[in-house]
Chain A
Amino acid sequence: MPTKLIVDCSTGVTTEVELTAEEIAEREAMAAEYAVQKAQEDAAKAAAEEAKASAQAKLAALGLTADEIAAITGA
């Protein structure tokens, strides 16, 4: 069970308590949102890398050397 730290400023005492049902629900909702967000980011990153590899392969097929491809693409 996840816990939180509560600092009571009137006493200076810190206690560790379990999250409430509402907080757990919020946490689960955020986790689901993050999973979707992360999947989208990972997909976008993979697509970009795939496009870059494809472009480099096409340039190589045109006869450019690896150094020449790096010179015009920065990679």
Chain B
Amino acid sequence: MATTYTLISSVTVGAGGAANIEFTSIPATYTDLVLKISPRLDSTNGTVYIDYNSTTSNQSWRRLFNSSGTAGSDNSTRQLMTAVESTFTANTFGSTEIYIPNYASSNYKSSSVDTVQENNSSTNLQALIANLWSDTAAITAIRIVPFSGNFVQYSTAYLYGISNA
């Protein structure tokens, strides 16, 4: 791992669960951001939204996926990733990495998402997602919000800063 890879903050969900997780006051001192998330939900839907600066506006995405053995692609609004669902293999958590280049620039913010729902079953989902926030503001906050339910205990999120020098 490059020496420019710096942990900014991290969080582990406690016994009560969490409706969402927010990283606030993100410093503008890095070039890129990486958010590594290992989530599990108490819902049978694994969709998790990603909002910047507490807004759901001006978002879009395109996705390549394999859902339970069927490959496909789709697109829509509101940036997203996936989490392990409540009916999936017990005590397993998802694996997701979100890479956000030039997060403090005055250009629109594209990001790539590599996301996997872990499940010891033929029912599962892997996806590569190109998210876009069509906004020129610097990203100072990131919120991850389940479409349904809560993050369960031991779900984790780690936010790293990447410097290009």
B contact residues, range: 20 to 34
Determine the chain B residues whose CB is within 8 A of the CB of A14 once the complex forms. Answer: 9, 11
Complex Cα distance, B45 from A64, in Å, reads 40
Determine whether A63 belongs to the interface, using a CB cutoff of 8 Å to chain B: no
In the complex, the number of residue pairs spanning A and B with C-beta atoms less than 8 Å apart equals 65
Interface digits, B62-96 against A, CB 8 Å rule (1 contact, 0 not)?
Answer: 00000000000000000000000000000000000
Interface digits, A1-44 against B, CB 8 Å rule (1 contact, 0 not)?
Answer: 01111111111101010010001001100110110011000000
| Distance between A12 CB and nearest chain B CB, rounded to angstroms | 6
Give the interface of A toward B (CB within 8 A).
2-12, 14, 16, 19, 23, 26-27, 30-31, 33-34, 37-38
19 pairs, A vs B, C-beta closer than 8 Å: A4-B18, A4-B21, A4-B22, A5-B20, A7-B9, A7-B22, A7-B24, A7-B157, A7-B159, A9-B24, A10-B27, A11-B25, A16-B18, A19-B19, A23-B20, A26-B56, A33-B147, A37-B45, A38-B45
